[in-house]
Structure 1
Amino acid sequence: MNAYLGRAPVALAVTALAVTLTACGGSDGSDGSGDKGDSGAAVRIGLLLPENETARYEKFDKPLMEKKVALLTLGKGKVLYANAGGDAARQSAQADAMIKDKVDVLVIDAVDSKAIAGAVTKAKDAGIAVVAYDRLAEGPIDAYTSFDNEDVGRVQGKALLDALGDKARTGKIVMMNGAVTDPNAASFKSGARSVLDGKVNVGKEYDTVEWKPENATANMAAALSALGKDKVVGVYSANDGMAGGIIAALKAAGVSPLPPVTGQDAELAGVRRIVAGEQFMTVYKPYAREAEAAAELAVLLAQGEKIDGIINQVVSSPTTKRVPAVLIPGVPVTREDIRTTVILDGVYTPEEICNDAIKAACQEIGLK
């Protein structure tokens, strides 16, 4: 079954945003006067991304959002960008600087959802709207756009369960979750657990500090030492970066054949490992949909438009109830799905994926 089915509610929500912007004059060719109520206004969007360990932020999120803001504002909109490099204090300082610079809207992918709450409150006090992006920040946020993170976890858990087959009951799995400072990590874990609990034996489970691959490598080495390398039949990895670290530890321990390892983000290295048969699957998240939805929300808020009447989804954080939200489903990717997902969407070309090391494997699955 094509995993792209089921995207309709998201498409409708994003289309509603686009229609609203068109009605305001942003997509019909009008030249705009530059006032805040005009889609051609010179709006300034502050974009704060959390880290650069994960390839997606610099390669996809930032340029996609810049392109969409430019389109919606007839080239008059500007995205001011900062990356926190995984440092929550640095991100708060970056937010403070943008508030002082009087941006119209902040789009924040929080390093630490709790630590950013103070900056969100400062923005609100300064009359600056805040869109929580990819991770649900605490504080008085105005909107949220992300992927359906519990569903991502369910997709990962189901894929692992399917890959294990009869081995699900005969061995142990290791769960390599993300950082506790990231609320998405808890959602991924919850979704995966809803599928796996009662059907597998979890031998070891880790919340991986800062999502770092090297920390996942150390955790996996410790798990193999504690459980025995012959007892581990599968690994739940919350993302591709950690999957790479996990597979490095498995190889270093001489585990062969490699057990199924999950992932997320469809990073190029992860896709290559899937082609090579080292990583079982990843979850492709259509970043264009997420970034475009965030850009549309930001431009609407910058123009002083109300958004709660055009979005039929809401979420709640510990500090803000019923936040208008656009939640986008993820898509499972195994060897069989690469052509109909990341290649079809133009994320990668076969030439980008199929380096010399995996040319034979690419030919085997029809990518070259």
Structure 2
Amino acid sequence: MKRRLKKLTALVLGVSVCAMLMSGCGKSTASVDASSENGGSEKTGGITIGLALPTAQEEIWVTHAENLQKAAEDLGYETILQVANGDTDKQFSQVENLLTTGIDVLVLAACDPGSTGNIVQRAAAEGVKVIGYDRVWAGDPYDLYVTFDNVAVGRSMAEYAVEMAPKGNYTLLGGDVVNQPATNEIHQGWMEVLQSYVDSGDITIVSDQNCKNWASDEGLAHAENALTANHNEMAAVLCANDGIAGGAVQALESAGLAGSTLVTGQDSELAAAQRIVAGTQTITLYKASDELAKATIEAAGLLAKGEEVKASGDYEGIPMLSLPPTVVDKEHLDEILIDSGYMSKDEVYE
């Protein structure tokens, strides 16, 4: 984790200097054959993609940054990376700076998706195509939304949970609710599965809380409250991400329930993989960020060249490319996370 953070810090510093000294940071070119499901047939240089990401303080976003830059490098495209670390005003300023550099496409993962309409409109007015990366706000004029199916994320968690724990008390710990559509979509997926069990009386949802900033300490506090209020009787804690799951596991450890209460998460962070090996977290949802990055950069290249991107669906009027998640439990962890090269065996089993 420290290695990745140091690498990203260097990248951010480098691209910031590059933005100030554009005359010395020419766009790379390439002309190598490539193929794409969206119809791209050649690698073409001369395209610059601005990457505006929300944070470097979560492992998953460090991974997203690395994968986006690698995907662009593989296709011969230049990237300029900016990371706002949760500061919406800072992200606005960073995007404004990106637009002045002459980028062809903006890949925007907003700190606050509900407050980006003006900046997306400005990019569109300047002829810059905008791809919403993993999060958008309905009604904003994005050219494309590339994401994982968040309803399927929630549904997959709940399906696994009811198979393993079809009766008992459940706690639901969702993500941030401030302009975060993914939170509602994950919850929708949970309830599509759980509602019939609730109606039959087999499952009782004793706590349904959201966690500000998707934070671990919020998961810890809400899980502690739920356990106390229900005399430590808890069959499952469904957590919207691995950070929240980490907090829930802390609460369960204090109550002597870690390993006996089912816990879900998503993002396949290293700490989550280690908890799965230890038996304190049951599953994480793996969302192949390299595949998401590849699809995003391929689409960016097509948009920059004025070509069509074949969307797989529609999100509130925004063309959407949606990728499915994969359930990772202890039995399949090595196959999915280690054999694929996403993590090393040494770091998981340290």
Report the TM-score when normalising by structure 2: 0.84
SS at match of 1:192: helix
Same amino acid, percent of matched pairs: 30
In 2, the alpha carbon distance for the partners of 1:71 and 1:334 equals 32
Per-residue CA distance 1:150-203 (angstroms, 9 max, x = gap): 1111100111111213xx1xx311100011132111111101110111312100
Q: Distance in 2 between matches of 1:243 and 1:270?
A: 8
Unaligned 5+ runs, structure 1? 1-13, 27-38, 356-368
CA distance in 2, matches of 1:348, 1:256: 24
2:237–2:261 contact (8 Å) kept in structure 1: yes
Q: Does the alignment pair 1:48 with 2:52? A: yes
2:223 is the alignment partner of 1:220:
yes
Shift of 1:64: 1.4
1:324 aligns with 2:324: no
Q: Partners of 1:62 and 1:134 in 2: how far apart? A: 13
Does the alignment pair 1:302 with 2:304? yes
Contact 1:21/1:72, CA 8 A, preserved across alignment: no
How much does 1:275 deviate?
0.6
Aligned to 1:21: 40
**Pair 1:149 & 2:170 matched:** no
TM-score (norm 1): 0.80
Which amino acid counterpart does residue 329 of structure 2 have in structure 1? T
**1: CA distance, partners of 2:73 / 2:157:** 35
- Aligned residues: CA RMSD: 1.6
In 2, the alpha carbon distance for the partners of 1:215 and 1:83 equals 24
Kept after mapping to 2: 8 A contact 1:264/1:284: yes
Matches within 5 A, 1:155-170: 155-165=156-166, 168=167
Gaps of 5+ in 2: 1-34, 198-202
- For residues 233-263 of structure 1, the C-alpha deviation after alignment (integer angstroms, 9 at most, x for no partner) is 2100011111001111222234365401001
In 1, are the aligned partners of 2:107 and 2:130 still within 8 Å (CA)? yes
User: Partners in 1 of 2:181 and 2:70 — Cα distance?
Assistant: 28
| Structure having greater relative contact order (Cα 8 Å, sep ≥ 6) | 1
Q: Does 1:285 align with 2:287?
A: yes
Aligned partner (choices 174, 177, 183) of residue 181 of structure 2:
183
Partner residue, 1:249: 251
Using the TM superposition, give the Cα deviation of residue 51 of structure 1 relative to its aligned residue in structure 2, in angstroms: 2.1
* Alpha-carbon separation, structure 2, partners of 1:210 and 1:52: 14
The AA in structure 2 aligned to 1:267 is E
Secondary structure in structure 2 of the residue aligned to 1:135: coil
CA contact (8 A) 1:53 1:212 kept: no
Distance 2:294 2:119 in 1: 24
User: What does 1:254-273 align with in structure 2 at a 5 Å threshold?
Assistant: 254-255=256-257, 258-273=260-275
Change (3 A) 1:48 1:198: same
Partner of 2:170: 173
Say whether the 8 Å CA contact 1:48–1:95 is kept in structure 2.
yes
Change (3 A) 1:54 1:258: farther
How far apart are 1:67 and its partner, in Å? 1.6
Residue matched to 1:315: 314
The 5 Å alignment of 1:125-144 reads 125-138=125-138, 139-144=140-145
Q: 2: CA distance between counterparts of 1:248 and 1:91? A: 33
Distance 2:300 2:53 in 1: 15
1:110–1:137: 8 Å Cα contact kept in structure 2? no
User: What is the CA–CA distance in structure 2 between the aligned matches of 1:126 and 1:197, rounded to whole Å?
Assistant: 47
1:43-73 Cα offsets, whole Å, 9 max, x none, are 1111111223421111x21121112212222
Instruction: Tell me which residue corresponds to 1:102.
Output: 102
Tell me the distance in 1 between the aligned counterparts of 2:82 and 2:252: 36
Count of residues in Structure 1 that have an aligned counterpart in Structure 2: 309
Q: Which amino acid aligns with 1:316?
A: Y
SS of the aligned residue for 2:121 comes to: helix
Give the match for residue 8 of structure 1: none
Which residue in 2 is equivalent to 1:339?
Answer: 334
Tell me by how many angstroms 1:301 deviates. Answer: 1.3
